[in-house]
Structures are given as C-alpha cells and as structure tokens.
Amino acid sequence: MNWSKYNFLFKSRQYGYLIYNTLTNSFAEIDESTFNKFEKLKNDTKTINNDFSQEEIEKLQQAKIIVNNDYDEYLKIKLSRHIKRFDKSLMTLTIAPTLHCNFACSYCFEDARPKVYMTDQIENDIISFIKRHTEVKRLSITWFGGEPLLSFDRIESLTKKIKLLEINYYSSIITNGYLLTQKVVDKLHELKIRHVHVTIDGPENIHNKRRPHIKETDSFDVIYTNILRLKPLIKAQKVALTVRVNVDHTNEVHYHEIYKKIRTDFTGLEVSIYAGIVKKSYGSCSSVDDILMDNQEQANFNIEQFSKYGIKNSNFFPIKVSGECMARQLYGYLIDARGDIYKCWTDVGNKKEVVGNISNNNAINPTKLTRYLTGADVFDKPECQECFFLPVCGGGCPHLALKKKFDGNPINLCLVAKNNLKEFLEIYYEIITKKTKAI
C-alpha cells in the first residue's frame, strides 16, 4: 500500500491538523497523534502495520488515503472522463435562435450583433439532426444568443417540436433579462426551461455603464424587476436562478453591494450569485489588459470578499469535475441562427471555428471535432498526469486548452486554488464550523 499523492496533509495555526484528498474530494480534521502517524506513513508506508489496526487500515483504503498504486487511480479518472465524453445517450445543444442583441456591453466577445434570426428551415433541420442521433435518450438545451428572448417565438416553436420526440428533455436560458416579462415567465415551466441565467454587473449606476441597452441607458431597473417575477417559480422549485456578475478591476469594489442586495431581496430562496471573473487568460486586447484579473488576483478578490463581507463567492472547497464540458462531449454542439455548428460558445460568429452546418447531412468537420475531443487532452499532458489537483480539475477549459496548444496563447489553465489551497481550505473550515457566518 502507498500513501496517495492526492493527499494534502497540513497543520493550520488556527484550526489544528487537517487532511484533504482530491480523489474523494474529502476534508477532515484529525488529532495530533494521527497527524504524526500520517507524517511517518508519508515517508515510509512500512510503518502502517505498526501504527494502525487492520480496521483503521481498511478505513484509510476506503478514504483513498492509502492506495495500491497512484497510476491505477489516475487511469480510473481517465476512464471515467472518457466514458462521459463519448456517451452517445446524451446530446447537449446550445441553440442561438438569433445573433441579434439589444445590449451594447463593452466587454462582449461578439464583435457585431447582426440582425440574423433563425428560419423555419433551420428549425426543421435541427429537429432532423436530433432525430438522426437515434442513440440519444437525454437532450439538454441551453438557449443562447445574441439575446435569445428577442426570438422567443422560435424558442416556443422549437420546444413544441422537441417535446413530441420520445426523449428526456430539459433546458436552460442565458439572457440579459431585459425581455423577461411576466408573459415569458409564465411560460417557462411549460417550455421546460428549468434554469434562468442572468447577468447584473453591480448596483444600478455601475451596471448601467457596463451593460447599457442599445436605446436606453437604464437597463438595471427593468432587469431587476423581471428577475423578481421569478420568485414564485423559485419557491415552488420549478425554476432555478443564477445571477452572474462580470467582475474586473473597474467594478470589483462594488461586487458586495449587488450580492447583498440580491441575497436580501431573495431571502429564503435558493439563488446562485457568482463573480464571473473577466480574466487575462481569455487572450484579451492589450488595451484593456490592465483591468482584467490573473489567477492570483482572482484568488485575492475571493479571499477579500469573504474576509471583509462574509461572502462565500469562491468555491473555497474545490468542486470535483465529474462531467465534461459541451465542447468535449461527442454529441455537444452550439447551433446558431444561420445553422452554423460550433463546439464552444466563445466561437459564435467566428467563421474560422465553424465545424459544419445543420442543413448539411454530412455536417461535422472531423478535423475540428477531433481537435476538441482529443486534441488538447489533459490526459496527454505529463504535468497534469502527475498533478495533485487532477481529480478536481479536469484540465481546465477545453477551448482555452486548444488556444494554448495550437495558437500558442500563454494561458494559465490551472485552478485558482492551486497556489492558495491552504488558505482556501482554512476559509472553508471556518465556514463549515460556523466560526464566521458566510452569505
């Protein structure tokens, strides 16, 4: 038996002796005696029979603190991810019924907002495309854009046809929220839209500067009034709401204001609020580089939000990556209003990244598809194979991994927690032991 390389054993000045394991994603407090025995075990596994009973050894095996072979554990992770990556029973589609948008956000990745709307022909071709994949039993759709609610009638008509298919179907929508009227809200459950994702970039004066409507400067009040309409559906657990706050150095000091406002106005309801860090790793224009955050600045921001305001903005305790991003799923595609097919949301509108068209029966370009599925695979990288964080990381964003490998972009794909693990785990310990109330 071997001491697992996926263990992180440490002594906290504040909280005593702690151990974290990425294989099981478990975290435990231990006493000093156990800590000392673990330290010996790390250096010499032959001590195990002297320091631990057979029952204790079995528990250590169950917790993956000791393993037969680290490489075997790595292979199990690899197998699990590949099974999910090539699962033919699941289709994950992101559909942009229009490329048009009613906002003019300064940091938007879309260079233009063409008034392109999906036709009946493209709609019918999407249904045919789904039907051709006869192995698919589960279908997940994310309505995207542009602004998808500008084409709400297309969402209704496509959903009506999808519901006639013998398939387990559910969907979500990413919207700026401006057109989330009561009429739309009343139809969400019928349309099987179970998750609404809206962006609000700070309190009113900050948000309106960053996310103006193309005709009106004030978009905050309209959006906020609209998300409040969701409260009955959230209470009935028919719809989940996520609010993303895009954060860079120009608005980071205001994040806590909008966070606390939403928490107050949705008291007692499960609403997810998170800071969507606009990072330097996205390969941004150098003219705005000084307002963007690198990994360490993001970590510092998260720590500050907790220490100053009690906001648990970050996943201080790593979330184990169990699935695969749509970009790495065999049947994961984005289909835009023209019928062009992509593998990643970030590529929308970039003709160089089109992998096919929905109206072509031989739609998929195998070269581009293969690059996304296996071209920048975390399991091909020696540094990732040996990395302690692999079980809870998964190699980072597939799109950015491709940019790094094939375009030479100097992108940091690692977890924000990588260089801050001890501090993050101490904060998590503080939260779960309720030494400091987190919101």
366 — phi, psi (to 5°)?
Answer: -65, -30
289-338 pLDDT, tens digit per residue, is 456 788 899 999 999 999 999 998 778 998 887 778 999 999 999 999 99
Query: Alpha-carbon distance 222 to 175, whole Å?
Result: 13
In this model, does residue 114 exceed pLDDT 70?
yes
Asked if pLDDT for residue 4 goes beyond 80, the answer is: yes
pLDDT at 107 over 70: no
Reported confidence tier of residue 278, pLDDT bands at 50, 70, 90 = confident
According to the model, what pLDDT value does residue 363 have?
Answer: 65
CATH 3.20.20.70 region(s) of the chain?
70-439
Give me the residue label for tokens 């409507």. Answer: 213
230 vs 214 pLDDT, higher one: 230
Taking CA atoms, 271 is separated from 221, 224, 323, in Å, by 19, 14, 23
Mention the CATH class of domain 70-439.
alpha beta
| Residue 175, H or E segment | strand 168-175
- Whether the CA torsion 263, 265, 271, 272 is positive or negative: it is negative
The answer to whether 52 touches 40, Cβ cutoff 8 Å, is no
Neighbours of 53 (CB within 10 A): 9
Tell me the pLDDT tens digit for each residue of 177-210: 999 999 999 999 999 999 999 999 999 999 999 9
Strand order in the sheet with 90-95: 271-277, 240-247, 193-199, 168-175, 138-143, 90-95, 332-335, 340-342, 356-357
User: How far apart are alpha carbons 308 and 96 in whole angstroms?
Assistant: 40
| pLDDT tens for each residue of 366-388 | 888 888 988 888 899 999 999 99
10 Å CB burial of residue 407 (0-12, 13-18, 19+) is exposed
- With 0-12 / 13-18 / 19 or more C-beta atoms within 10 angstroms meaning exposed / middle / buried, residue 310 is middle
Measured CA to CA, the distance from residue 390 to residue 336 in angstroms comes to: 33
